[in-house]
Homo-oligomer: A and B are copies of this chain.
Amino acid sequence: MHTKPNKALQTFPNPAPHRDYQIHMEIPEFTCLCPKTGQPDFATLMLDYIADKSCVELKSLKLYIWSFRDEGHFHEDVTNRILDDLVKATRPRFMRLTARFNVRGGIFTNVVTEHRKKGWKPAPKVELAEFSPQSNTRG
């Protein structure tokens, strides 16, 4: 039986609500239609959030992303709309969505938008030395 695209985002309880910790998701298969020309648009979405009581469920997120396949949306608009839906479903302490769209007319467009829960403040960041991924353990 076929699964189907679905705008309803499922959540599950945050397993570590006593902490501010970051969940990062990368969604490389977003596609919708251009409302002006009707032609397909493609983007990679980067989602970062600090959950409060709920986390977004992975499989429902996949079906949600799929639900845009036959819809027409402008770049700036659809990015803010997806953020709004994710915020409504999970009520996070913090959420940032980055959309990297495929080149059109020789120009690349990315949109970055975020939501902060009222009254929430991030702990001051502990700055450590950072290293690019180094664990090349295979041949």
Contact = CB atoms under 8 A, between A and B. Distances in A.
Contacts of A109: 23-25, 58, 139
Interface in A56-107: 58-59, 61-62, 66, 69, 74, 76-77, 79-80, 94, 96, 98, 100-107
B48 A40 contact: no
A62 B25 contact: no
Contacts of A62: 105-107
Interface residues of A, number: 73
B3 A37 contact: yes
What is the count of identical protomers in the complex? Answer: 10
Residue of A43, A48, A132, A133 with most partner-chain B CB within 10 A: A133
A128 to B, nearest CB: 5
Nearest to A62: B105
- Which of A23, A58, A128, A139 is the most central at the interface, judged by chain B CB atoms within 10 Å of its CB? A139
Q: Which 6 A-B pairs have the closest CB atoms?
A: A136-B136, A2-B38, A28-B135, A21-B113, A108-B139, A26-B108
